[in-house]
Amino acid sequence: MDLVRQEIISNAKLVVIKVGTRVLTTPEGLLNLEQVASLSEQMNWLIQQGRQVVLVSSGAVGAGMSHLGITKRPADLAKLQAVAAIGQTKLMEAYDRFLSRQHQRSVGQVLLTAEDLTDRSRYLNVRNTLFSLLEMGAVPIINENDTVAVDELQTTFGDNDRLAALVTNLLRASLLIILSDVDGLYDGHPNNAGSNRIATVTEINAKILSFAAGHQIGLSKGGMSSKLKAAQTVTSAGENVILASGRTADVIKKIFQQEPLGTTFLAQGKSVSPFKRWLGFSAQVKGKLILDTGASTAVATKGRSLLAIGVTQITGEFAKGDVVAVCDAAGHEIARGLTNYTSSDLAKIIGHRSADIAEILGHLPYEEVIHRDNMFVISNGA
């Protein structure tokens, strides 16, 4: 057993667990109550070990289809959301049946839309609510609010893998466990005889991303690609991820009993502050700044603030204090930050030295376009 993984598991006091639709449903798409019971028992066991648990659970649509006797996922958005609304109550009833009645663990339902984690105030409210539930000894069970989330309005998370990653960052949990229908990341298709499971991923690079099947099956919205992106979000913030099969009996217990299951994705660098987690992964980007080579290097590798002289182009309309993407000359995003200038003012001063700003605008509100304290570096440009 890898000593690093042993340390990760030993130190994981707050754990986020994400369980996918295909884990919670039968091959026919019906809600698998035996799986819900097993998952509930394992979470109760974790809490008895002195750990706190937050569950991000898919399965509302599948539970609704099961209750209504529907065998095919509705294509119509309104009908799909109606099925999810019915299914969410059935899903929570199942968790309550096993966690509350059998294990005396209170259950707290939390339904989120992307906007809840985009807006800074709502983001903090969600965080405070989840921590209060944990302090009460309850198990928060989170799902996307499928009854109001609409793709066309860009208010969905896309899948619960991303939602779980954002919740992990929101709570600064040291470990995210993603339970899927595969037992880890393989260097080829899992069904191929020559494919091998990768035990540990130290960096999610282009080669690792190329291993993602990226296909959708049945009721699930996400594939391996979404799981790798979720792992990238969590590890970039300085935390760890384990991807394992939710169909393995007692998989959570076995992970915490140090059995070498699944794939471990290791944290990249130090743990990031809560504010920069929101800034880098949850906040809505209102515009884009393109930098020259010198400014890109200063921001990405030297920890410098962004000055107007290094900006070559801007896109979008934004106000002071909005979040903007910071990109290199090729358009690759290297950072995000809070802009000190509106898009209209910034358009007048890009390419100019800070000493020239007062003459151009009539005043010098800030020397920096984005101060390094208000910036999260996504890529070092390597």
| Per-residue pLDDT at 1 exceeds 70 | no
In the predicted model, is pLDDT for residue 217 greater than 90?
no
* Predicted pLDDT of residue 316: 96
Residue 32: C-alpha distances to residues 28, 66, 86, 172, 220 (Å): 10, 10, 16, 31, 15
How would residue 155 be classed by pLDDT, with cut points 50, 70 and 90?
very low
Task: Considering only residues 80 and 111, tell me which one the structure prediction assigns the higher pLDDT.
Answer: 111
Amino acid identity for residue 153 in this structure: L
Distance CA 332, CA 343 (A): 20
141 closest CA partner among 292, 27, 16: 16
Tell me the C-alpha distance between 110 and 200, whole Å.
Answer: 32
- Whether the predicted pLDDT of 22 surpasses 90: no
Any idea which architecture 284-377 has in CATH? Roll (2.30)
| Confidence tier at 212 by pLDDT (50, 70, 90) | confident
With a cut of 60, say whether residue 219 has pLDDT above it. no
In the chain, where does the domain assigned CATH 2.30.130.10 lie? 284-377
- For residue 25, is pLDDT > 90? no
Query: In this predicted structure, what is the pLDDT of residue 74?
Result: 81
Report pLDDT for 192. Answer: 83
Whether this prediction's pTM lies above 0.75 is answered by yes
% of the chain residues with pLDDT over 90: 68
**Under 8 Å between Cβ of 375 and 306:** yes
| pLDDT of 289 over the 90 cut | yes
* pLDDT grade for 222, boundaries at 50, 70 and 90: low
Residue-level pLDDT at 248 = 95
Asked if CATH classification 3.30.1520.10 holds for the domain at 3-276, the reply, yes or no, is no
pLDDT digits 0-9 by tens, 332-382 = 999 999 999 999 999 999 999 999 999 999 999 999 999 999 999 987 554
Strand 240-245, strand 197-198: pairing: unpaired
Mean pLDDT score, 122-145: 94
Q: How many CB atoms lie within 10 A of CB 310?
A: 23
Q: What is the mean pLDDT of residues 162-173?
A: 94
Q: How far is CA 234 from CA 60, 108, 112, 241, in A?
A: 25, 24, 19, 7
Q: pLDDT (tens digit, 9 = 90+) per residue, 227-264?
A: 999 999 999 999 999 999 999 999 999 999 999 999 99
Identify the residue with better confidence: 25 or 322: 322
Question: SS3 for 289?
Answer: strand
Taking CA atoms, 240 is separated from 16, 43, 169, 184, in Å, by 11, 19, 11, 14
Long-range Cβ contacts of 350-358 (<8 Å, 24+ apart): 350/308, 350/311, 350/312, 350/313, 350/314, 351/308, 351/309, 351/311, 351/312, 352/308, 352/309, 353/307, 353/308, 353/309, 354/307, 354/308, 354/309, 357/308
Q: Residue 343: CB partners within 8 Å, gap ≥ 6?
A: 287, 314, 316, 317, 318, 319
The pLDDT of residue 295 is above 70: yes
| Whole-number percent of the chain with pLDDT over 70 | 93
250: nearest Cα among 261, 242, 239: 261
CA-based torsion, 239, 180, 247, 42: positive or negative? positive
pLDDT for res 148: 61
| pLDDT per residue as tens digits for the range 98-131 | 999 899 999 999 999 878 888 899 999 999 999 9
Residue 165, helix vs strand vs coil: helix
Report the mean per-residue pLDDT for the chain. Answer: 89
Higher pLDDT: 149 or 124? It is: 124
Q: Residue 169 pLDDT > 90, yes or no?
A: yes
**Parts of the chain belonging to CATH 3.40.1160.10:** 3-276
Pairwise pLDDT comparison (38 vs 159), residue with the higher score: 38
Banded pLDDT at 157 (limits 50, 70, 90): low
Total residues belonging to the chain = 382
